[in-house]
Structure 1
Amino acid sequence: MNQSTRKLALRGIVLALVSTMYLAALGGPAHADVVYPVAWTNIGIFPRTAPSMGAPAAGAAVSDGTSVQIACETTGESVSNGASTSTIWEQLSDGSYLPNAHIDTGSDDWTPNVPRCGGGASATPSASGSGWVPYCGPSKYFSDISVERWSNGDFKIIAWPTWEARTASDPTAATIDEWHAIQNCVSGLYGTLADSIYDQLECHQHLALVPGKNVWATGTTYDLESWRGTFDNWLGTRCGNELNKERDHTDAPTSNGQPDEGVTDIAPPTTVG
């Protein structure tokens, strides 16, 4: 680099510093968004409109390894990735949110090079106050989704598969689409509970149609129950046996219906990851 070039470079650095200081004085962005990958979801995750898993989805689901631009961090609903739990949420550059538990920032605490949203941590929102609008109507693989709930906290998601679901040539891809439909209907599915519901869904989908017969190995509906565990080897005998067991409830469900009942003027989500 010759002297004149060096002078021009130094002048550019000075101008950049002055510009940054000017923007900071005006309250403008004095930092660039940072990029980190989505991780540990196994099946993808929907960005949310608020820092809560019960908030409406914001766009399509993003899969593990997808890089997202993070503008700032805030606090929200506690989320677990199976190994750790965090109340920190990332606000993305488009204004949507993803839980820190599913972003590989290299830190289990506030990320050093990411600012706090609004200059500090916000209060934890509740799912009921997040604008959650469920959709439980027809989708590609389900004609209807409803939920039965018991007084002890148990619940059962009842999904009615379409013929396309029964005969899907790629059961794994169908399971992922079905999971996103379940997420659009039922809030609060994450952590070990989400793992259990997903394992049950995968079991149903892979055993949906008995080869050569128009009968269903796991019944006419996909019943996804909160009291089941996870299946380390879902294709083994345990998968089918577990899904044929009924919990001995001594009382009738306290509620039975679609979570979107009473919600008007809604339509199926326009984007499905």
Structure 2
Amino acid sequence: MSDQLDDLERRIDELRAGVRKAMRVRDGATARVLRAELRSAERAWDALVSGGPPGPAGTGKEEPPRLVTVREQVHQGLRLLGACAQPRLIVAVSDAFFGGTIRSGQLTSLRRDEERSFRSSPFGRPYYLCAALTDRLSPARGLLTLSAWPLERRVVGPLSPRVDFLTCAIAVARREAENEADEERAGRLLVRMARNIPGATDGALGAPDPGRVIEAARAELRVHAERDTRDRAELAQRAAAQLGEAARLFGAATLSTIKKETTK
């Protein structure tokens, strides 16, 4: 498995470099082809690190269970949610759907570690856990995203917290409906989320119907989505024009940040 991961990581690095080169020379067609290959390679990498299939056919052997790191568990949670999320929600999702072992306190320094890793070896990893960006293009406190997502999904405007909450609720309800969860933990999580969505519950005790939660969340999303999409597109354009590669992932330094660093 380690050899396969090494090969995939080398291929991912090559594809990332190829995409950047194609974009620099404004070769959109080549960039699209390489990005499609990149997504496929990243999915293959995810499949390997997320438990993966049994060992080679015909051997009769299975690979031993591997320890899933905190970083990988956060990655799993964010991929399921599909939107910027706070650590406590990521922890709850990991616990309910992946048998996770992480705790919110473990995520405190994670983003800083990711930024240090990126600055020491840019794009040396297939993905980074990074900060959502505010309208000031600074890192949003307590909101994590994935570097593989486009800028429009990693910036937050005035309506974005609500839109992202509804998006996450739909993802949680859909996953529970597929019966791929710890029923008790997933039920508790869905109850907490449904209480904050008008029409998502019928007032009865117990976990709400996932289909009802999805329908109610989508109904409210239709109210906010157009404005939020427009706001995020404007923020993404600003970020792309004004920020370097690292700042697009981890945010621009604020005056308070600079002051803290200069006084150390």
Instruction: Please tell me the TM-score bracket, short chain as reference.
Output: under 0.3
After TM superposition, the score normalised by the length of structure 2 is 0.24
Q: Normalized per residue, which structure has more helix?
A: 2
Q: Which has the larger radius of gyration?
A: 1
Q: Normalized per residue, which structure has more strand?
A: 1
